[in-house]
Amino acid sequence: MSERHLDLPILLKHVEDGVPHIYPFPGHPPVVLRINGAVPRLSLEVPVNGRPELQPATLVNVRSALVLIDGRRQLKVDVTGAALLLDGHQMLCAIADRIQLEGADPLVALYETLDQWREILAVRSRLSREAEVGLFGELTLVEALATLDGRESVSVWRGALQEEHDFGFPCLDLEVKTTTNDQRIHTIHGLGQLTPTAQRDLLLVSVQVTSGGAAGRTLAELVDAVRGVVGTAIDPGLRRAGWDRETADLYRERWVIRTRPAVFAVDQEFPALTRARIDGIHPSLAALDRVDYRLRLDGVPVSKAVPKQIGRLIEWVEERRA
């Protein structure tokens, strides 16, 4: 990334915070980048002279308008949606460079840049950051499993099969939750995610990751590492999880495992919302169709008896982390 532009980890942190930020590009005329992570949306703003006419917008997630800011007419270019933030940021940087470094008129800079980026912005999309982090955590265990038990063992990873837990071992299921938070705070999607299947035990593995700089791996690099061990057998699971090899270059954040993964037994003592527990509170709650909630696992007792195979996976991840 150019020294003129906001570093990617800082951009992503601002988006994650959800607090609006303003970044001025160095140069003349004044061009600023507004970051609104709560939407999420990136906006470029630059003064314009006169009353130029804008061409009609043709891209779904890119909008341009002439607005008054502090009493002066400005061109405002918005890129909206988490899937396009990284590409959108690069596009807005390209517009700013044309204006400040090449002396282009703001509207000319906009149209020339859109012509170059139209196909990318219209077609390419990537996993949300939450989904990226989640897949990174799952694939970390897939890599451990394949390395320790051979390429055929990867079949226990279900790769986002609907109504299934992440891993299905012969005698138990495994749900993997990954967070970038300093605490073990995970989002649970639905009343079924932490519901054991039939008489099978269910374990939850809590994985904490953080931005790792040069020491870390991108999701694309982890995917390549796993495919290097198991070959194309992993591809169906990757597709179900939303991975597209054509967009591998969009995943630039480098991740490392922050702490030793923690294993929890999802039993009667575990703080999970399930359909049975909800229905037991009051009959009217049967009308609840879906409940997503945040679960804080700091202070919740870890499993005292971790099955040997799962323990081996955790040790492998811990050794690599150290």
Q: Are residues 113 and 15 in the same domain?
A: yes
Q: Is residue 23 part of a domain?
A: yes
Q: Are residues 234 and 142 in the same domain?
A: yes
Q: Is residue 1 part of a domain?
A: no
- Does residue 127 carry a pLDDT above 80? yes
Q: Are residues 94 and 111 in the same domain?
A: yes
Q: Is residue 283 part of a domain?
A: yes
Q: Give the whole-angstrom CA distance, residue 321 versus residue 216.
A: 10
Please identify, among 103, 123, 143, the residue that sits at the C-terminal boundary of a domain.
123
Q: Are residues 171 and 152 in the same domain?
A: yes
Q: Are residues 251 and 278 in the same domain?
A: yes
Pull the structure tokens for residue 164: 């299934």
Q: Is residue 173 part of a domain?
A: yes
Q: What confidence tens digit (pLDDT) does each residue in 88-99 have?
A: 999 999 999 999
Please identify, among 123, 148, 167, the residue that sits at the C-terminal boundary of a domain.
123
Question: Do strands 255-257 and 31-36 pair parallel, antiparallel, or not at all (unpaired)?
Answer: unpaired
Domain total of the chain: 2
- Does residue 58 carry a pLDDT above 70? no
Q: Are residues 31 and 15 in the same domain?
A: yes
Q: Is residue 305 part of a domain?
A: yes
Q: Give the whole-angstrom CA distance, residue 275 versus residue 280.
A: 8
| Boundaries of domain holding 72 | 8-123
Q: Are residues 153 and 204 in the same domain?
A: yes
Q: Is residue 159 part of a domain?
A: yes
Q: Are residues 93 and 175 in the same domain?
A: no
Q: What confidence tens digit (pLDDT) does each residue in 253-310 have?
A: 999 999 999 999 999 999 999 988 998 888 898 888 889 999 999 999 999 999 999 9
Residues 256 and 209: beta-carbon distance below 8 Å: yes
Q: Is residue 307 part of a domain?
A: yes
Q: Are residues 161 and 193 in the same domain?
A: yes
Note if the pTM is more than 0.75.
no
Neighbours of 31 (CB within 10 A): 25
